[in-house]
Structure 1
């Protein structure tokens, strides 16, 4: 009998990233951290893509009608609301995992924002991963002040739990 769910994070690089192995480990760590802290009780899977500015701009235009470079996009597979699923989730018969969705992170934009905000690229990538996984679980900062506050509290708490704070330099 499995006591703890096993979460799988697939990270694909579609652009050149300095120290890609560290970035991969960071994305995996942050995504799993959110899933564990949200008490996701089943084996979950997330596909993460690290892309360049042009690709994320294209996706943002195609799926959100916003023809601008953004930092991260989330494409949930299921209808969640603030961490609670609204429908039964069926695991993939081959892997036994439930695919939660896709995350697309623009590494160059993350590095630019890290410099703007005065913290490390690792902290920014960790924040964006945490932010995206929360979106995959139905959290949304665009629904209203209460939902925004709930999401921001979780982001801060989850990042602090793994040592990624705004003042990490």
Structure 2
């Protein structure tokens, strides 16, 4: 195997606010202030300020959607599980558990299934699949918000796996 790195060297740098590219520093400072620390995934994603900024903006947009918190976390966990991002699965299982038990588990199962269907069909879900999703109290806006969540967390999970974030 050809490698340009010395043995044991990391593929991606765990940047600090001081070592990161200048364009990534404001986003890193915001995350550090909000979380009380700088997660490794953010430190490594900072290698590309555009990627870091894009994820943070998309994630904030997804958090502001009309989907309830349990539904949003279910979308995120569905994407993270599918993309085998163990870091995201652990983080978002903890976040989901912190929300307490859902009022309607069948509704969460419906959004999980719908998220899988959107992914499996590249968005070309059938009218029947949309109708099943709508029967659980979701609407057209929510269907598009699922797509936003898939986009945000596909970016995150693939970047985390690429950078080998723990």
TM-score, normalized by length of structure 1?
0.22
User: Which one has more relative contact order, counting CA pairs under 8 Å at least 6 apart?
Assistant: 2
Greater helix proportion:
2
| TM-score, with structure 2 as normaliser | 0.22
More strand by share: 1
